[in-house]
């Protein structure tokens, strides 16, 4: 008996050439568990970089109530995946379960998905119940999990959305890279003794760029350099003259020229990605319009939301399912009637990052529902928890505007007062009493 058979509690010996067959005897009789088995013929695929193992689980023809397991090893090239497809179709499997292992699942999933009922599952969901771990036992476990309905399929977007997602994620990386170059430029200016970044909020903006170009071309007069500023930055000319006092050498000119060229190169790439993304989103104009009515969500944010979710809320049963998928819903950790710390679960990091920025923008408006909601909750639970709660509110708004194709409607800063006026009056009475005052509420005459 092989080690893999022993680890699974199986009987039978593996055949040669990487293929093995055996019977699973640990299951009850089939007629006794017919309500627990959803798929009689299932398969599991354990993925790796160079090879994969597939296991097919079907009712045994030799003895009623047992299962026959057959495994075979395949390569990961396209030809080998096609051989895997033919092997699975020949065995008439009803469901195939595979884990989202790194990026190795992509080529296998995309080729098998049009022909089979394929389920891509999160490895973290099965980590605690897997048991002994070998490649054959992993494949057999996935087959058994798929047969009994123990797993849920992950959301895999269509090809056009996957291409759009690649573009928006790469654009985010390009924007981050351009920001790093700007930080290196500021570091170089600090080496000269100039404090331009202390006066101008953006040294790569119109005013800062004009000053830097003049410095590179040899201009050293502080007054002339400060006079190159534009717009509201001209109000800072006196402070800027003092900030431009430093030693700007030829070496600094060479490095600043290099950083400016790098920033221009990144910006040209970002512009090309913007054009490509806009072309692919031509059919989502209405969705982008309603998304931008949500506080904190602009054009770039709406593009990222559509790219990550597909823009079709039919994939998510409710707004709370979407919040759980992104990872901005409260966690649950209760044992013996005691609720412990429930942290948010890992989710879509790209959307979570976007929602964090959008939430910080939304709460700045103190006359909005989200601004009031944040301050009420922050007073009791702290700013970080309150910010996550605002992110959760934004996800609910995103789901509804995309589901109903209607713009966002703010509930207003007085929403909580209108919802429970007696509570608002009790709060005002409590505050007045703490100051040694009494107040009386009289209705306004009509």
Domain residue spans of the chain: 3-148, 159-280, 283-332+343-404
- Mean pLDDT confidence for 69-79: 84
Q: What is the pLDDT of residues 108-125, one digit of tens each?
A: 888 888 888 888 887 766
Percent of the chain past pLDDT 70, that is, above it, reads: 87
> Hey, what CATH class is 3-148 in?
alpha beta
Distance CA 431, CA 429 (A): 5
Cβ contacts of 252 within 8 Å, gap of 6 or more: 188, 189, 191, 192, 215
pTM beyond 0.85: the answer is no
pLDDT higher at 3 or 282: 282
Q: What is the pLDDT of residues 412-439, one digit of tens each?
A: 888 888 888 888 888 888 888 888 888 7
Cβ(306)–Cβ(281) under 8 Å?
Answer: yes
Task: Indicate whether 50 pLDDT > 60.
Answer: yes
pLDDT higher at 262 or 61: 262
Task: Give the pLDDT of residue 19.
Answer: 57
Q: Which of 67-81, 200-214, 244-258 has the lowest mean pLDDT?
A: 67-81
pLDDT higher at 426 or 34: 426
Average pLDDT, the chain: 82
């Amino acid at each position: 008996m092989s080690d893999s058979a022993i680890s699974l509690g199986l009987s039978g010996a593996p055949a040669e050439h990487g293929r093995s067959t055996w019977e699973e005897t640990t299951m009850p009789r089939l007629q006794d568990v017919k309500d627990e088995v959803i798929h009689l013929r299932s398969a599991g695929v354990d993925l790796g970089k160079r090879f994969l193992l597939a296991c097919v689980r079907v009712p045994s023809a030799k003895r009623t109530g047992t299962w026959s397991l057959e495994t075979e090893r395949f390569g990961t090239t396209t030809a080998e995946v096609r051989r895997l497809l033919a092997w699975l179709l020949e065995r008439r499997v009803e469901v195939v379960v595979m884990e989202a292992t790194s990026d190795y699942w992509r080529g296998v999933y995309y080729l098998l998905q049009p022909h089979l009922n394929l389920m891509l599952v999160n490895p973290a969901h099965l980590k605690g119940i897997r048991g002994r771990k070998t490649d054959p036992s992993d494949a057999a476990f996935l087959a058994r999990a798929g047969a009994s309905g123990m797993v849920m399929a992950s959301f895999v977007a269509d090809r056009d959305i996957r291409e759009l997602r690649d573009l928006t994620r790469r654009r985010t990386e390009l924007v981050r890279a351009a920001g790093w170059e700007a930080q290196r430029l500021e570091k170089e200016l600090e080496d000269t003794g100039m404090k331009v970044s202390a006066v101008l909020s953006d040294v790569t903006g119109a005013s800062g760029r004009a000053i830097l170009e003049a410095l590179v071309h040899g201009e050293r007069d502080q007054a002339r350099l400060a006079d190159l500023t534009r717009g509201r930055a001209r109000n800072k000319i006196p402070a800027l003259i003092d900030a431009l006092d430093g030693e700007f050498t030829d070496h600094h000119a060479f490095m600043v020229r290099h950083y400016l060229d790098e920033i221009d190169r990144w910006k040209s790439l970002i512009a090309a990605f913007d054009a490509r993304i806009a072309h692919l989103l031509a059919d989502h104009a209405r969705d982008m319009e309603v998304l931008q009515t949500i506080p904190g969500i602009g054009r770039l944010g709406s593009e990222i939301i559509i790219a990550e979710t597909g823009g079709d809320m039919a994939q998510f049963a409710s707004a709370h399912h979407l919040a759980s998928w992104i990872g901005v819903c409260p966690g649950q950790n209760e044992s013996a009637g005691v609720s412990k710390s429930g942290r948010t679960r890992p989710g879509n990091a790209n959307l979570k990052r976007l929602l964090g920025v959008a939430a910080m923008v939304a709460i700045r408006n103190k006359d909005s529902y989200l601004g009031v909601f944040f301050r009420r909750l922050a007073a009791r639970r702290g700013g970080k928890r309150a910010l996550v709660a605002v992110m959760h509110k934004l996800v609910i708004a995103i789901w509804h505007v995309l589901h109903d194709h209607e713009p966002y409607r703010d509930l207003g800063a007085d929403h909580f007062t209108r919802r429970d006026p007696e509570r608002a009056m009790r709060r005002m009475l409590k505050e007045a009493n703490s100051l040694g005052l009494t107040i009386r509420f009289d209705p306004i005459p009509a």
